Amino acid sequence: MTISLSSGQTKSTVIQEAASLTIKAEKVDSWQGKDVFHYVLDNGEMQVEMTNFGGIISRIIVPDKNGKLENVVLALEEIPDYFTKNGPYLGAAVGRYANRIGGAAFTLEGETYQVTKNNGENTLHGGKEGFGVKVWEPEVYKKEDAVGVKMTYLSVDGEEGFPGNLETILYMELTADNELKLRFESTTDKKTIVNLTNHSYFNLNGINGDVRDHELQIFADAITPTGSGQIPTGEIKPVSGTAFDFQTPKNLGTQLDALGEGFDHNYVTKRANSSELKKIAIVKHPASGRVMSVFSTAPGVQLYTANHVRNFAGADGKTYQPHWALCLEPEGWPDSPNKPSFPSTSLAPGEKYVHEIVYEFDTEY
């Protein structure tokens, strides 16, 4: 079942779902002539706030081991703030191509495409105006054990230089079991590339300082090392015995000190594309007891420790600094279109791109 809000509707609408599952939907503004809504999904234990502007997750509010509710993602104060102030891609759906494409160019079927340069000589997260700044067409829906928002966006042929009319549907839902589930589905009318993810910045201590006291485990035995411009060299490098090794749970601060810089690296969670939904990471904050497990069908996950977030005015009067959050961005490997040995990110007419992500929240005592 889907429930659409008319463009003229401005009052909050509360839709009672099964048991304690509810959605609150409110039109808050418009952008480039399209209505922008703020949604609150609630299962009685936790809340997720999101918007159809950029497919953004704006807040995730979860309890600690004592039941204290706090937001655990970096956020801006109000939804309209995301229109012009979201340089770090806070909570955004990023595409057409998450991460970097070297030289902002790639070749498909003998034709070379030049896409927008927005990261030195490279392209990052889809170019200057990627999916995270587009207004998606939303529909609210319910299932027996979940409530969610279905968002649709058509990226036209040539947008940011990418070929093909690419239609993407993004399902974002909260389950009764404290899971935030995302599912991207894309189709095209011309061979293209696609690599979509969510760019939330997590801080399980309620964003009360940095994340050096977090414990991280990533189920990956290798990374794809990078060279100039953070473009992969084409190698697959084992992490065992290095600062990149999170195969067993590690204190993030200890690993940051061992590395001597912040993390911004792709971890190899699969060697080839498959539809298997795999647990790829566990994040714990021992003091609060909050735990987040991450699942994905993608072959990689980018670990980013907010290295370039500095003196950034965030929500609730807080000023975000480097290492105040960590991103786990499940995705295809960076620069795959230019690395034939990497899992392919190409999509042809008649095929469907599907990427599922699950963030599961719990507490340990």
Catalytic site residue 329? yes
**Full DSSP string of 160-177:** GG--S-EEEEEEEEEETT
**Full DSSP string of 41-72:** EE-SS-EEEEETBTTEEEEEEEE-TT--EEE-
131 phi/psi in degrees, rounded to 5? -60, -25
Distance CA 328, CA 194 (A): 19
Whether the link from the prior residue into 100 is cis, omega within 30° of 0, is no
Helices (H), the chain: 82-85, 252-259
Which DSSP state fits 251?
Answer: E
Taking the alpha carbons of 85, 335, 302, 349 in that order, is the dihedral positive or negative? Answer: positive
Distance CA 186, CA 84 (A): 27
Catalytic site residue 109? no
**How many CB atoms are closer than 10 A to CB 143?**
14
**How many CB atoms are closer than 10 A to CB 110?**
5
Active-site residue, from 199, 285, 323, 355 = 199
Using a 10 angstrom Cβ sphere, with 0-12 exposed, 13-18 middle and 19 or more buried, the burial of residue 81 is middle
Distance CA 120, CA 86 (A): 19
Q: Please, which residues have CB within 8 angstroms of residue 51's CB and are 6 or more apart in sequence?
A: 28, 36, 37, 38, 39, 58, 79, 82
128 phi/psi in degrees, rounded to 5? -70, -35
Active-site residue, from 179, 329, 331, 356 = 329
Distance CA 317, CA 331 (A): 32
253 phi/psi in degrees, rounded to 5? -60, -40
Distance CA 21, CA 145 (A): 8
Residues labelled catalytic: 199, 329
